[in-house]
Amino acid sequence: MKPNPPVPGTTPIDIAALIDNSKIGAFQIGLFALCGLCLIIDGFDVQAMGYAAPAILQDWKIDKASLGPVFGAGLFGMLIGSLVFSPVADRIGRRPVLIGATVFFGVCMLATAHVGTIDGLLALRFITGIGLGCIMPNAMALAGEFSPSRNKASTMMIVSCGFTLGAIVGGLVSAMLIPTFGWRAVFHAGGIAPLVIAAFMIFYLPESLQFLALRGGREERITASLKRIVPDLRFDGDVRYAMHEQVSKGIPIAHLFQDGRAIGTLLLWAINFMNLINLYFLSNWLPTLINDAGHATTYAVLAGTTLQVGGAIGTLALGWIIDRKGFVPVLVVSFLLATFAIAAIGQLAATLIPVFVVIFIAGFCIVGGQPAVNALAASYYPTSLRSTGIGWSLGVGRVGSIIGPVLGGALIGMHWSSASLFLAAAVPAAISALLMLGMRSATAR
């Protein structure tokens, strides 16, 4: 159903209503593609160190433990980037922060290709992580703000699939480049690609229309973009745009706890923390534990791949279901299923086909559930706080991404059995399900 042409000077034009009542066209698809490409290269660069690590160890003749701090530095940098620069996007816009971060981490990746010491590698991975931490919150916020409400969740989650796809592409590209050109070629590729994408974004990426309307004085830019979304509209004379919210003044983080959002904010932080503990524990330790259960290395690697494939399929399926049933009921069921699936991995580890089935279910619910939690944050916060809300939710969650692998290693060092390890890993999923029930009243409020 097409919106009626507005009558200038009488009723302000509701941007959200226009987008909701229009079909998704080429303009929006192009924007979603650019956001998706940002996340693809984000996923590539986050995983690049893991793919290059064996070749670096061989080239520099160092032990495995030397790279432990390097891995942690990248994750810590992403945490800082999420916390510090997401509020900046709510002040100056999604577009400049997304482009700036993409250029920044592209240059850092190119610099990493020329590093020659562990200390230099550690410093560059931390700095690169700061840029990478800005990408997910802003790409998802921008994609959501150009999506009709009827399929907003699925659109954001499809775009977020780019991160997983980037990790997969990174493995394939690294496997081709390293044997012929060495590990530095991985970082050359990971640096050139974001700079090319940034060039396209400079010319083709629009700013959030809701953000422009909130800031005021950008009516011409808003009108130009709306005409590309709804070509039938005719604007004669001056046009006014309506927003059902006000600009948040003061410290952005403080506003996450105001106007009845405090409980929802704390719940989102806790859910992200619990889910990313699980996600990174499984991603890092699953192949090793499957190998220890007596399966060949090939099957151990395939176990990790199955987890990610389940996550990609889960992202697409959960987004479709959420648009019809809502975030809370779908994610409660998803995290409950994950609880039983993760616990079952340890019980079924010795039997190949059954363990792969429960690994797929765990990936579907845990890896696939993370983009849904990000999309929930994007839907929960208003335009003026959206990037801050997603970024801080992810930033707090990334503390869990650091704790998960470390805690798993500590429990393994204490000689816990696989069955006990996976029973322990099921606890955060169960807590996530309980916390998600609390989001029902928070979202209603």
How many domains does the chain divide into? 2
Residue 224 in any domain: the answer is no
Residue 372: give the domain boundaries.
252-444
pLDDT per residue over 105-128, tens digit each?
Answer: 999 999 999 998 999 999 999 999
Do 155 and 257 have their domain in common?
no
Cβ distance 395 to 404 under 8 Å? no
Enter the DSSP assignment of 366.
Answer: I
Helices (H) and strands (E) in the chain, counts: 18, 2
> Pick from 213, 237, 260: which residue ends a domain?
213
Mean pLDDT computed over every residue of the chain = 84
Residue 442: pLDDT above 80? no
**Residue 79 CB partners (closer than 8 Å, separation 6+):** 129, 133, 395, 398, 399, 402
194 and 134 housed in the same domain: yes
Q: Residue 60 is part of a domain; what is its CATH number?
A: 1.20.1250.20
Among candidate residues 184, 213, 242, the one where a domain is terminated: 213
Residue owning tokens 């704390």: 266
pLDDT at 235: 62
Q: How confident is the model at residue 7 (pLDDT cuts 50, 70, 90)?
A: very low
| pLDDT at residue 326 is higher than 80 | yes
Mark 41-77 as b/e (b = at least 16 C-beta within 10 Å). Answer: bbbbbbbbbbbbeebbeeeeeeeeeebeebbbbbbbb
Confidence at residue 113, expressed as pLDDT on a 0 to 100 scale? 93
Q: What is the pLDDT of residues 16-57, one digit of tens each?
A: 788 888 888 889 999 999 999 999 988 888 778 777 877 888
Mean pLDDT of 426-441: 91
Residue 14, classed as helix, strand or coil, is strand
Give the pTM: 0.80
Q: In percent, how much of the chain has pLDDT > 90?
A: 31
